[in-house]
Amino acid sequence: MIETLAKTIVRTQKVRLYTEAEPFRFDSGAKLGPVDVAFETYGELNSERTNCVLVCHALTGSAHAGFYNSEDDKVPGWWDGIIGPGKALDTSKYFVVCSNILSGCYGTTGPSTMDPATLKEYGTSFPATTIRDMVRVQKRLLEWLGVERLQLVIGGSMGGMQVLEWMVSYPDFVEKAVPIGTGASHTAWGIALNEVARQAIFTDPAYMGGNYYASGQPSRGLALARMIAMISYRSPESFTMRFQRERMRTGGGSVFFDSKNIFQVESYLHYQGVKLVERFDANTYIYITRAMDLHDVARDRGKLGEVLSSVKAETLCIGVSSDVLYPAGEQRGLAELIPDARYAEIQSIHGHDAFLIEFEQMNRLLTEFLDRR
Rounded-to-integer distance, Cα 5 and Cα 71, Å: 10
The number of beta carbons lying within 10 Å of the beta carbon of residue 20 is 12
CA 227 to chain centre: 18
Does residue 352 carry a catalytic annotation? Answer: yes
The number of beta carbons lying within 10 Å of the beta carbon of residue 312 is 16
Contact (Cβ atoms closer than 8 angstroms) between residue 193 and residue 232? yes
Rounded-to-integer distance, Cα 53 and Cα 361, Å: 19
Does residue 157 carry a catalytic annotation? Answer: yes
Does residue 323 carry a catalytic annotation? Answer: yes
Cβ-Cβ contacts under 8 Å for 113 (sequence gap 6 or more): 36, 121, 122, 126
Query: What DSSP state is assigned to residue 214?
Result: T
Smallest CA-to-CA distance from 104 within 82, 131, 69, 77 is with 131
Per the rule left: phi > 0, alpha: psi between -120 and 50, beta: everything else, 222 is alpha
Cβ-Cβ contacts under 8 Å for 198 (sequence gap 6 or more): 225, 285, 286, 289, 290
Per the rule left: phi > 0, alpha: psi between -120 and 50, beta: everything else, 351 is left
Cβ-Cβ contacts under 8 Å for 336 (sequence gap 6 or more): none
Contact (Cβ atoms closer than 8 angstroms) between residue 105 and residue 284? yes
Which residue type, as a one-letter code, is found at position 128? A
Contact (Cβ atoms closer than 8 angstroms) between residue 195 and residue 286? no
Catalytic residue among 112, 157, 238, 348: 157
The number of beta carbons lying within 10 Å of the beta carbon of residue 4 is 8
Catalytic residue among 281, 323, 348, 353: 323
Q: How far apart are the first and last CA of the chain?
A: 36
Smallest CA-to-CA distance from 8 within 78, 80, 62, 106 is with 80
The number of beta carbons lying within 10 Å of the beta carbon of residue 274 is 14
Catalytic residue among 186, 295, 350, 352: 352
Which residue type, as a one-letter code, is found at position 304? L
Task: Show which residues are catalytic.
Answer: 157, 323, 352
